[in-house]
Amino acid sequence: MTEIAAQPSSEPLIRLERVSKSYRRGGETIQVLDRVDLAIPRGDFLALMAPSGSGKSTLLNLLGGLDRPDEGSILFDGVALESLGPRALTRWRAIHVGFVFQLYHLLPVLSAARNVELPLLLQRLGRAERARRVAAALSLVGFPDDRHTFRPTELSGGQQQRVAIARAIVTNPTVLLCDEPTGDLDRRAGDEILDLLVELNRRLDKTIVMVTHDPHAAERARTLVRLEKGLVGEIRATSS
């Protein structure tokens, strides 16, 4: 295993350098990201707004090591993700990244608590310790105690998103990557989820990157990156 030296705290947590990504489909190449530079400070809550189809989900997938750039470098807490092989990247992701999606992506056959427990099954933890962490995560996100055994279809959208956030934070990851986390919720449930993300950022110092279409959601972040066209060239934070 590689020893990873600690970086000075002034270094951004995540730094993208000239990251390009295209998809190949039939004979065609679809260029989605073109030499993107982006620095995300530790402890930031960054909202990224850009039009549909401009590459936001693609960018999040690269940040979280779910996919790899064609070119360029992604430095995460001093680790160059491109230097990790497939197994090391999977292990790295399990430790450092929590994903939250618009449509929750919970497993329908498992209870709320079992869904949250899933990422812990990759760690060597006893059953009692797992149960303790699951309960702590569900309590932290304000999920009702009397719903732990309910399956996703037996929960409201807001409750399902709380379960998904509990699942994302139960391993205590470095960063939360949220792809339209309020996109499927009404205003009130969405606001509650945003309150929760703000609290996770402020109180637990979680670094959060949130993709959103909704200006109201973006306002809740510390830093707003707004792109009118595609994710081309340098991305600058326009307000904070």
Ligand X SMILES: Nc1ncnc2c1ncn2[C@@H]1O[C@H](COP(=O)(O)OP(=O)(O)OP(=O)(O)O)[C@@H](O)[C@H]1O
> Using CB under 5 A as the criterion, which residues of the chain lie in contact with Mg ion when the complex forms?
57
Q: What's 6's DSSP letter?
A: P
Closer residue to ligand X, CB minimum distance, 55 or 119: 55
Q: Judging by DSSP bridges, how do beta strands 175-179 and 28-40 pair with one another?
A: unpaired
> Is 29 one of the binding residues for ligand X (CB under 6 A)?
no
> Residue 2 interacts with ligand X (CB under 6 A)?
no
Could you tell which of ligand X, Mg ion, none binds residue 127, using a CB distance below 5 to 8 A set by kind?
none
Place of tokens 């993208």: 16
For 43, 63, 184, the CA distances from 210, given in Å and listed in that order, are: 13, 12, 15
Instruction: Decide which of ligand X, Mg ion, none touches 53; Cβ closer than 5 to 8 Å per partner kind.
Output: ligand X
E-only strand ranges, the chain: 14-25, 28-40, 45-49, 71-76, 79-80, 97-101, 175-179, 207-211, 223-226, 231-234
Measured distance CA(170)–CA(49) in Å, rounded: 27
Which one of Mg ion, ligand X, none interacts with residue 81, CB within 5 to 8 A by kind? none
In total, the chain counts a number of residues equal to 240
CB of 57 to Mg ion, least distance (A): 3
Does the protein bind ligand X through residue 30 (CB under 6 A)? yes
C-beta of 48: minimal distance to Mg ion in Å? 10
- Does residue 54 interact with ligand X by CB under 6 A? yes
Determine, following the binding rule CB under 6 A, whether residue 23 of this chain makes contact with ligand X: yes
Binding footprint of ligand X on the chain (CB under 6 A)? 23, 25, 30, 32, 50, 52-58
